[in-house]
Amino acid sequence: MTYRAPVKDMLFDMQHLANIEQVAQLPGFEDAGFDTAQAVLEECAKFSEGVLSPLNWEGDKNPSSWKNGVVTATPGFKEAYKQFAEGGWQGLQHPQDFGGQGLPKTIGSACGEMLNSANMSFALCPLLSDGAIEALLTAGSDDLKAIYLENLVSGKWTGTMNLTEPQAGSDLAAVRTRAEPQPDGTYKVFGTKIYITWGEHDVAENIIHLVLARVVGAPEGVKGISLFVVPKFMVNKDGSLGARNDVHCVSIEHKMGIKASPTAVLQYGDHGGGVGYLVGQENRGLEYMFIMMNAARFGVGVQGIAIAERAYQKAVQFAKDRVQSRPVDGSIAASAPIIYHPDVKRMLMTMRAYTEGCRAMAISSAAAYDASHHHPDAEVRKQNLAFYEFMVPLIKGYSTEMSLEVTSLGVQVHGGMGFIEETGAAQYYRDAKILTIYEGTTAIQANDLVGRKTARDGGQTAKGIAAQIEVTEAELAQSGSAAASVVLKHLTAARLAFIDVVNFVAGNTKASPNAVFSGSVPYLMLAGNLMAGWQMARSLLVAESQIASGSDDVAFMQAKIITAQFYAEHLLCKVPGMRGSIVDGAASVTALALESF
């Protein structure tokens, strides 16, 4: 089945939920209105559908391979990457000063979704480069920027993030990779890094590793970690590539999914030490790495939406083609395509509602990011940043957990054929699983939501968002339509449940941490469900007003209304029950004695 980018749905979200014309009034984005968004998305759709999508199944069958330290990508990937770089796609959201196009994240997130729907293994490479670019833009010296940024932004070189070590997964305080200062101001880096996405490959001429390491004599724990640039090949003064640096790929992992994306074990310093360059100041590495991680966490949330969309499209196509059994209502006398069966429709609607809800949440949050960086008013920047930062763990956590449910439903719609690899549905299920794990597991996102985003400000940001949801409720009440009334009922109940949970979290995190953190992931899922449901409610209001004002696409708008109502009745309705398990159910999580497990 060929992938078709959902450009129309993305443009609907951009125009009506993210208000792209308002984004285009921000300094630096004057040329980035709706017409630009449409042109960019249509071009990205062509590239994603025509070049990347056909390689997706190939990458699953013929993964990247390692031999004697050399990693060879899946056949076709190198040529596709060349087209990707030449098309300027890597620089889409990056500054024009370094050769980028300087477009808003609102447009960039939609393009990211298409690339990942078409071929997630491929799209991981630019995602990691984006993170490296962000870190250098924020904390790199003028020298480092001059040497590395233009080639990273152009896609000529690729970037990586090197955090994890065999003994240091989520606990970065345990990082042991060491950096020894040299008389010339460089550092020699020694250590092993694991799970390095696209850490070695043959699709670009150089790889720029951003590496967390501890300078000799630095404080213990997270306070003593620094960030270094360690290039695969040294860069000469004239910009040409010099000698191979002392960083080598000793193996790549054999994985459940994303098989074409080489996940490398990198060894630094087996031959005298890898030459590294300090980013920013010593002992502030974790702070800088968080910049990369926040960019990547949003990107991984978008990957969840992307893989869900791909699984949904495949399931719809199968359901229309697969003939099996007579419809229960007798509307067709003979066996019919399974899409006539109510339960198949329920599964397809669940897939559709989740995907559209999370897409709307991501695109509207991207607009807040753009305002937080470009709005001339400092107070408006601050409010938008608080909103965006609250949303990041939800976009990452909820969208990726939802992608597991959606891709699993995709297999279920296919029945026995879904369990057969040749069908292709299973690949999306396998690829989706990593999304809930890398760039911080769902529990790590939930810890962030509880600690930094809720308890720290006493729940004020969360309650501010709840107040915005109330405004939408008032608009639903004003509409008075049957669909708006249904959505209003569930949205109000979900918001009230959310406020109860926010008060519980803000009031008990210090005094009863186990009680709060035992419900931290349910809190994240509750909040994500509400935020996506809120955007679906907004979509319904837009669709109603579009129909009333004579929209020329009534079928699309009616589908929006039905999907929003389905979201409310089948997904948002779960929120009050989740509230009970979080606020009242902590004791049974922790009560069982350890020896009873």
| Active-site amino acid positions | 439
Using CA atoms, how far residue 190 sits from 199, 212, 246, 264, 285, in Å, is 16, 11, 9, 16, 16
Helix (H/G/I), strand (E/B), else coil: 438: coil
Residue 577 burial (10 A CB sphere; 0-12, 13-18, 19+): exposed
Using CA atoms, how far residue 478 sits from 199, 488, 549, in Å, is 54, 10, 17
Query: Using an 8 Å Cβ cutoff, are 20 and 109 in contact?
Result: no
10 Å Cβ neighbour count for 563?
21
Query: Using an 8 Å Cβ cutoff, are 260 and 123 in contact?
Result: no
Residue bearing tokens 């850490």 = 199
10 Å Cβ neighbour count for 85?
19
Strands 206-215 and 225-231: antiparallel
Return all residues near 388 (Cβ < 8 A) that are at least 6 apart.
Answer: 365, 368, 369, 372
User: For residue 400, which of 299, 494, 313 has the smallest C-alpha distance?
Assistant: 299
End-to-end CA distance of the chain: 45
Query: Using an 8 Å Cβ cutoff, are 250 and 314 in contact?
Result: no
10 Å Cβ neighbour count for 333?
8
d(Cα 525, Cα 532) in Å, to the nearest integer?
A: 11
In DSSP terms, 234 is beta-bridged to: none
CA 145, 151, 155: angle at the middle one, nearest 5?
130
Tokens of 483: 């669909």
Question: Using only C-alpha atoms, what is the Rg of the chain?
Answer: 24
* Cα atoms found within 13 Å of the Cα of residue 51, Cβ hemisphere only: 21
Query: Using an 8 Å Cβ cutoff, are 369 and 105 in contact?
Result: yes
User: For residue 10, which of 39, 53, 51, 49 has the smallest C-alpha distance?
Assistant: 39
Tokens of 457: 């400000």
Residue bearing tokens 């009034």 = 25
d(Cα 157, Cα 85) in Å, to the nearest integer?
A: 9
Tokens of 534: 């809120």
Beta strands in 198-262 (DSSP E): 206-215, 225-231, 233-235, 241-244, 247-252
What is the separation of C-alpha 159 from the centre of its chain, rounded to a whole number of angstroms?
18
In DSSP terms, 72 is beta-bridged to: 65
d(Cα 492, Cα 287) in Å, to the nearest integer?
A: 38
d(Cα 90, Cα 107) in Å, to the nearest integer?
A: 13
Q: Which amino acid is at 29?
A: F
